[in-house]
Each structure stands twice: as C-alpha cells, then as structure tokens.
Structure 1
Amino acid sequence: MRILVLGAGAIGGYYGLHLAEAGADVSFLVRDRRAAQLARDGLVVASRGQELRRPVRHVQAGRIEAPADLVLLTCKAYDLDGALDAIAPAVGPETIVLPLLNGLAHFDALDARFGAGRILGGACYIAVTLTPDGTIHHASPGDLILFGPRAAAAPWQVETLTTLFAATPITARSSTTILQDLWEKWCMLAAGAALTCLMRGTVGEIMATDAGPGIADALISECRAIADAHGHAPRPPSATQTHRMLTDPASRWAASMMRDIDAGLPRLEADAILGDLIRRGTAAGIAAPLLTAAHCNLQVYAARAANA
C-alpha cells in the first residue's frame, strides 16, 4: 500500500516513521525547509528513552507523480484549505484519506472535495512536539490511534493499515464506531482546552484553586450536553477517563493550545475545537457559557497576536 503523509511534523512524522519501519511504502509531502532537514538528517523520533532515525522518501508540492492508496492528513485546522490543494494530485479514483484533525468541521471540506465515501474518521491520543532542529519528541506514555469508516463498509486500506500498525510499538485499532470515538475525543479536548487556556495553567495548578474543580466539572458537563444533543454522549469509560484526567490534582497536563499560547504562536485551533462545538450546541438549543467565555478569551488572544 502506497502511503502519502502530508508533512513530516509531530503527528505525521511520528506515525509515518513507524509505518516506514514496519515496511510500508511511505512518502512525506513536505515544504522546502523540511525537505532539506530530511535530506540531511533523516527523520528523527525521540520516544521512550530511545532515538529512532532513518532516511525517508519525501516529495514537495507540485511533484507528486502518482496517486497514493492512502493519504494520512495531519495538519492544523487553519491550514486545511492549503492542505487539500497539496494532496489533491495524490488522490486518485481508489485513494482513501485518513484525517487526524481535531473536531469534526474538517469533514465538510474533505467530503465536498473528494467525496464522503473516501474519507475515513481518525483520532489519536498522543503528545508529540517538533523541535526547530527537526526532531520529533514523544512525551506521553502511550500513543493510541483509532481509525475506521464513518458510514459505508471499510475499504481494503483499513485492514492493511491495521496489519502494518501491528508491526509497530503503536497501539492502533480499527473502529466500527469512529464517529462516537471522534465525539468522545472532542469532548475531552474541548473541555481540557477551555479549562487550561482560560485559566492559563496546568490541570494540577487549576485543581489547587478554590473554584477549579467546579469549573472543570461544569466544562465537562457543557461538552457532554452538546454531544448528547447530537446523539453521541460519551460512553461511561470515556466519561470516567475525561473526568479523571481533568480533575487530577497532580497533573501537569495542559492542552496543546495552551502550549501554543505559552510559545507565543499567533494561530490557534480555537474555532475548530471550541467555536464549532459551541455552534452545534446553539443549533441544538444548548447553552455553553464557560465554553463561550474560553472561546472569547482565545479570540482576543488571536486578535492581539495578529496585530502585534
């Protein structure tokens, strides 16, 4: 199976490298600067106390010569339009696209461009960062990825991808309930992002305050109510895990958006993670005052960053 990974950043580079190590035919669609890094140093992942380095095939925009069997789409929501243009030459009649983006809004653009039947659902639970020297650092103890068809029967690529991942240290599962999985991750991520970004702290720091535990519970409840209104209330194991994660007094976790704020990055995924969820809540008659306050806060941050 020919796999094209959009970019060789934190998510795409991590999963793409492990698939290449497992013997998959993987190429990375990258920009000039990243292409130079890969040509010089190879693709490097630091994970679980070990460094994995290997040369990888890479191609730049406008130089794709044949369709892929599977396109792994790993980009930020605000880069989606450009990403669709970049991968379009690799999407042939039999190509399947696996997006690993947060939220659900990206499916509208992908379905319109390539057809809903060719777009899988995908969710990953992992903490990885890309350093300026091109090294991908894996910080979380685990790395779970879920993928599967959203409606129709699974295409052959799903079974092949499952087999390839089985030869890696990654925990990967094909799912027949991927939309439910996506809603559950979205609820966890939205509540966590709203909590840590609004309070500008880690979960543990917020839990040490008088109001922190109550605010965390309220945010979790707002997200759950919206998901429930759309027929996808988090199942008990997910609900329990989310509550444990976002109320742990010893936790040093903060959402990646919070880390972006700390780094002074001007662009955030606030609209995809919070804005779209709020809009879906409004459409269902569900009020979400704390999510709305967090989204407003992030809009102010983004406006200041844009004008700096």
Structure 2
Amino acid sequence: MKNGLNILVLGAGAMGGYYGSRLIQAGADVTFLVRPGKLSTFRDAGLRVSSSLGDFSGPVNAIGSDGLRPEYDLVLLACKAYDLKKASEAIRPAMHSGSVILPLLNGIWPYDQLDSLFGKDRVAGGASYIAVTSLPDLTIEHSATNDRLVIGARSNCHVDVINRFYEIIRGAPGVRVLTDDIDQQLWQKWVMLSAGASATCLMRANIGEILATSFGAAVVRQLFDECLDVAAESRHQLDGGAIAAIEGLLLDRNSTWTSSMLRDIRSGATKIETHAIVGDMVKRAESFSIEVPGLKMALAHLEAYEAQQRL
C-alpha cells in the first residue's frame, strides 16, 4: 500500500468519484465498489473528472460485491442518505476489526444510523463543501472552484486512521481541514444546508434570485433562525464566526448558490434527501417543542414532490 491505508470508495458517483480521483492523484491505494451492472463499463471507460482544480482521466481499480474481502482500513461512504441502508449492507463484508467508515453524507441522521449499525468507534466524520455532478457520459463535473473537506475523528479508536487519511488527502488540490470537533462541524453544515435547501427548493431559485424578491430575505432569515434554534437545543449552538459565514452565503444578494437537492429536483430525480436535510430537523424541533413553520412548509413541499414522482 502506497500510503499505508487500503481505501474502499462506495460507488463512483459524483462525490465518491471526485474524491476517489483526488486520493489516487495523492498516491493512495483506492478501490471502487460499484454495482454489477456498471462494473464492466467502469473498468473499460475508467474515471473522468473535469475540474478547474485539475482534471483526472484514467483506469481505476473497481470491484463488485462478490469481490469484497475484509481488507480495507477506511471506507469512504459517499452515497445519498436515502441509499444508506443498502450502502451499509454493501460495505460490511469489506470491513475488518479496525476498519473505519468516513461518511460524506448530509445531515446528522445518517450518523445516528451508522453508529447503531457499526458503533461510533467505527464511524468518523466528514463534511464536504463542493458542487459536483455526474454527467450522462459518466464524466464527473466539478462546478466553480470550491472544494473544502473537513474531517475528524468521533472516537479515540480511529484517530490514527483519520490522521493518516488526512496526510494523504491534503496532498490533493482543495482545502483540507482536520478538526478535533467534527460533530460541531457536521451541525454547522447541516444548519446551512437545511435552511438553504428549504429556501431554494421552495422558491425554485438561487439565493440571489430569492433575495431580490420583496420578502425573500425575511424568508431565508426565518429558516436560518429556526435551524439555529434546533442546533442550540441540541447542544450544538453555532458561534458568531459560523453564523457570519453562513449569513455570507445565504444572505448575499449576489450569490448564485443553490442546493444540490434543487438540482436533483430540476433533473427530475425520483428520490431526494428530504428526510436527512429537512425532515430530521423538523423532527428534532418537535422533540424540543420548537415552532418551525418555515421548515414545515418546506418539508410539505418536498414530500409532495416525492409523492408526485412515485405516481
């Protein structure tokens, strides 16, 4: 192993493919676990990434579920939250007693699920700030220039593995942060994403377009405040710096930012991350008796979309 870690990446979709390619560029031993129907295509075509931070194109190691052995030190889990159950079952044969899962999933609910299945000692934390899309020709397109990956251990049991992973990934283009409080970082991203996705999906518009309307700023502010209240009651109150950073994104009249969930809706996706991003925030608010009318409206909107897609 080139850098001491044997890494398995679940899937070669937008997120997994992008970070898998960056790990390869950094000299890591990376294997992609892909669905049987795509295995031959993936082996023949390889992996292609288009990015202003540097392109990638070439063959990669890929296996199907029947080729898994318990030999991977770190499993990079980059699926959508609604696929978590299947993904968890798929990676179990790849794990040995010291294997660590590094999820790059939205929200806190996926961590609750993974902790219950594998134990918190096996589940690290990761928050990615990037816009990547898998195109019809299987190329992964990285939009803009932002690529910020924050990782950290959630247990002393996997500090060494996460530190070694960080030493590898920091050699690839992009901003890499190793934190000793990854749970707080996960909450900060979730607050931003839940408020931002609620606003952009409700309005079917980017942040700048929303703020240009008569009451757009008030709507975004209400959604943000509701999420902040839930975080505070959950003992993850955001500090002034984190609040200012999110305000800089969600209250910038020149911003063209939109959520990945809105991009999924615009593409006609049959599944979206309704529960992980918005529904779970509402559920937690109700457990604290916090009124969140804005988030409830967004949740109803997203659930109605999902119901239409099932028809």
Q: Tell me if TM exceeds 0.5.
A: yes
Which residue matches 1:252?
A: 256
Moved more, 29-38 or 131-140: 29-38
Aligned to 1:143, the other structure's residue is in SS state strand
- Report the number of matched residues: 307
Which residue matches 1:275?
A: 279
**Alpha-carbon distance in structure 2 between the residues aligned to 1:94 and 1:154:** 8
**Alpha-carbon distance in structure 1 between the residues aligned to 2:155 and 2:289:** 27
Which residue matches 2:141?
A: 137
**Alpha-carbon distance in structure 1 between the residues aligned to 2:157 and 2:71:** 22
**Match runs of 1:16-95 below 5 Å:** 16-48=20-52, 50-95=54-99
**Match runs of 1:144-293 below 5 Å:** 144-152=148-156, 154-293=158-297
CA shift, 1:290, in A, is 0.1
**Alpha-carbon distance in structure 2 between the residues aligned to 1:118 and 1:140:** 33
Kept after mapping to 2: 8 A contact 1:165/1:172:
yes
Could you give the per-residue CA deviations for residues 167-209 of structure 1, whole angstroms, max 9, x where no partner exists?
1112112211101000000000000000000111111111111
Q: Percent identity?
A: 40
Which residue matches 1:13?
A: 17
Could you give the per-residue CA deviations for residues 64-123 of structure 1, whole angstroms, max 9, x where no partner exists?
133200000011111011001110101110100001110111122212221111100111
Kept after mapping to 2: 8 A contact 1:43/1:55:
yes
Q: What's the Cα RMSD here?
A: 1.3
User: Do structure 1's residue 304 and structure 2's residue 270 form an aligned pair?
Assistant: no
CA shift, 1:40, in A, is 2.1
1:127 equivalent among 107, 124, 131: 131
**Alpha-carbon distance in structure 1 between the residues aligned to 2:80 and 2:305:** 18
- Unaligned 5+ segments in structure 1 are none
**Alpha-carbon distance in structure 2 between the residues aligned to 1:242 and 1:40:** 42
Moved more, 59-68 or 20-29: 59-68
**Alpha-carbon distance in structure 2 between the residues aligned to 1:74 and 1:63:** 20
Summarize the Cα distance change of 1:22–1:262 in structure 2 as closer, same or farther, 3 Å threshold. Answer: same
TM-score, L = length of structure 1: 0.96
CA shift, 1:213, in A, is 0.6
Aligned to 2:205, the other structure's residue is in SS state coil
TM-score, L = length of structure 2: 0.95
2:119 equivalent among 94, 115, 118: 115
Q: State the AA in 2 paired with 1:170.
A: G
**Alpha-carbon distance in structure 2 between the residues aligned to 1:97 and 1:118:** 6
CA shift, 1:50, in A, is 4.5
Aligned to 1:304, the other structure's residue is in SS state helix
Q: State the AA in 2 paired with 1:276.
A: D
- Unaligned 5+ segments in structure 2 are none
**Alpha-carbon distance in structure 2 between the residues aligned to 1:39 and 1:108:** 34
Q: State the AA in 1 paired with 2:239.
A: R
Could you give the per-residue CA deviations for residues 33-71 of structure 1, whole angstroms, max 9, x where no partner exists?
432332222111100075311211011122213320000
CA shift, 1:235, in A, is 2.0
**Alpha-carbon distance in structure 2 between the residues aligned to 1:73 and 1:31:** 14
CA shift, 1:20, in A, is 1.0
Would you identify which runs of 4 or more consecutive aligned residues in structure 1 move more than 6 Å?
none
